[in-house]
Structure 1
C-alpha cells in the first residue's frame, strides 16, 4: 500500500501524541506517602457504609492510592490487627491497655483518632404499636429479667453492637430468652420488616445510607424513641437517633468511631487518618447522618453598606 507524505506526517504526529500522553502509574510503584501508595485496613462491618463514602472521595482527591479493605465483626478483625497482620483498623472502641502494650512491645506506638459518633438505633415494625422504649427496659431484656415480653434482635453474636449492650448491662453471657442474633445489619432490618413484636438493633447509618434494594424493607420499619435513666442526659423524654440528638448527646445509645493506625511510619494510613478528621472528611460524616468528631466553625463578615 502506498503512503503519501501527507498521510505519513499525520501518522507520525499521532505517534508523537501517543508517546507524550501521560499514563497512570501503577499504584504499587508509586511512593509510599500520606497521599499515595497502598494501605490495608480492617473495618468493623457496622461502619462499612460510611467508610466506603470516605474512601471514594479520598481517592478522587488522591488517585495514586489503593485501599485493601477487610470487613468483619469486631471479634473477627481485632485478632488480625493484634497479631500484626494488618496495622490499620476501624473500631467502635479504643485499644485496651493490654492491647496497646502488644504493639508498644514491638516499638510501635498506635495512634488513635475519633472521626465520628454513631447512634445505635432500636427499630420496630411500622405496625407495632410500641414506638418508645427506655434504657432500663433494654437492660432488663439483656439481663433476662424483663417482664415486658419485648425481644431484641442483633446483627450477630460477635458484633461490636452486641458487645456494647452487654457492657451496658454488665453481663458476660446472654440470657436464655429474649435475645436473638442473625448475621448482618441488613438481616435485622429485613427480619423486623417481616415480623411484628420484635425490636431490632442496628447502626443508624444502615437506616440512612443503605443500598437501593433495601428500600422496601426500610419502609416497613421505624426508629424508636429512647429515654435514658432518670438524672442522666436524655432522661427527660424519649429521643430518636436523629443527627441532632447524636451531636447534642441526648440520644442514649451512642458510640465513637475510631481509626487506629499502627503502621509505625508516616504512610497512607497516617494520611487517611488525618483526612478523616479534616473539614472535608468531617463533612462526609455529617452528610452520612452520623455525628462528626468536630463541627467546623463558620465565620461571617458583616460589612456596613451605609
Structure 2
C-alpha cells in the first residue's frame, strides 16, 4: 500500500471514531424498516464502475419491485470517506481494507462490516483511431505517464486525483515516480473516451467495463471512436494482449484490479440482499456479460484452435 493510500485510509478511520463518538450519545437503537427484498437504501460506488453497477442495480430492482437502491457515483477517495457515513450502507470500489482497518470500522460504528472481492477488472488503454501506438509495453506506459516517451502522447485520466484508476497508476505502475504535469483529468470515464476520440495525441486510461461489453449499444459506439491498446503480456515478453476475460482472469493482461464491496449493516436488510445478489449466480453472470471476470464463480479456460 502506498504512503498516500495509507494516509487517506488512516484519516478516514480517525474520522469514523470522531463521528461515532459524537453520535453515540443520541440515545436509542436505530429502527430499520427495510428487508433484503423491500425498502430503500443509498450506496456509493466508484465512478469508474458506473456501467456495471447500473446493470446490477437495474436487474435487482426489476426482480424485487419493492426495492430502491440509490447509487452515488464518486471518486474512490470519497467512497472511502463514506465508510464512516452511516447513511451509506455499502461502498463499491477497488479498496480492500486490511484486517486491522476492518476491525477499526467495526469498533467505531458498532455494526457488522463485511467486505468481499466480487469481480476482477482491468484498466484499459485507449487511443485515437489514427494512432499507431496500439502495442505498448509496461515500460512504455510508464514513460507515457512520466512524460518521457518518444512521442508527445498526453495521458487522459478520469480525474487527476482520488479515483481508483489514478491510484492504480500511481501505486501499481509508477510506484513512486511522478506523473507528468501534462496529464489531463476528465470529469468522467465517458469524457475520457470523447476526448481521446477527438485528439490524435491523447491516450486514455479507463475501466474496461466502459468499453468491454460488445453487446452494449453505447459501448459499441465508443469502440467506433477509439482503439484499445494491446499491452505486453505479463508472462510472455514480446506477446501483446487485450483486456479480455481470459487475460484478466490469468492476470496475463498486466493492469488488473479487484472490485470489492464493503457492506455496513447492523441487521439483515436491503444492503445484505443486494450484496448476496452481487456475489450470487445472477450477479456474477452480469459481471461476465460486462466482460469483467466474475470473482465468486470458478471458470475453466480451455485452449482452442481455429482452422483458417
Matched, 1:43 2:45: yes
Structure 1 residue 253, shift from structure 2 partner = 0.9
Cα deviation code 1:115-137 (max 9, x no counterpart): 11111110111111121111111
Partner residue, 1:69: 71
Q: Which moved more, 1:242-251 or 1:289-298?
A: 289-298
For residue 296 of structure 1, report the CA deviation from its aligned partner. Answer: 5.3
Q: Is the CA contact (8 Å cut-off) linking 1:193 and 1:218 kept in structure 2? A: no
TM-score, L = length of structure 2: 0.78
DSSP-derived class of the 2:240 partner:
coil
Q: Deviations over 1:13-32 (max 9, x none)?
A: xxxxxxxxxxxxxxxxx952
Query: 3-state SS of the aligned residue for 1:70?
Result: strand
**Does the 8 Å CA contact 1:59/1:65 hold for their aligned counterparts?**
yes
Contact map agreement 1:103 1:109 (CA 8 A) in 2: no
Q: Secondary structure, in 3 states, of the residue corresponding to 2:241? A: coil
Higher Rg of the two aligned structures: 1
* Match runs of 1:94-243 below 5 Å: 94-96=96-98, 99-106=101-108, 107-157=110-160, 158-168=162-172, 169-171=174-176, 173-177=178-182, 179-209=183-213, 216-228=221-233, 232-233=234-235, 235-243=237-245
**Distance verdict in 2 for CA 1:234–1:200, change over 3 Å:** farther
Change (3 A) 1:290 1:216: closer
Name the counterpart of 1:292.
294
- How many residues are paired up? 266
Structure 2 spans left out of the alignment, 5+ residues: 1-31, 301-308
Structure 1: runs of 5+ lacking an equivalent: 1-29, 299-306
Counterpart secondary structure, 1:58:
helix
Q: TM-score if structure 1 supplies the norm length?
A: 0.78
Distance 2:205 2:121 in 1: 13
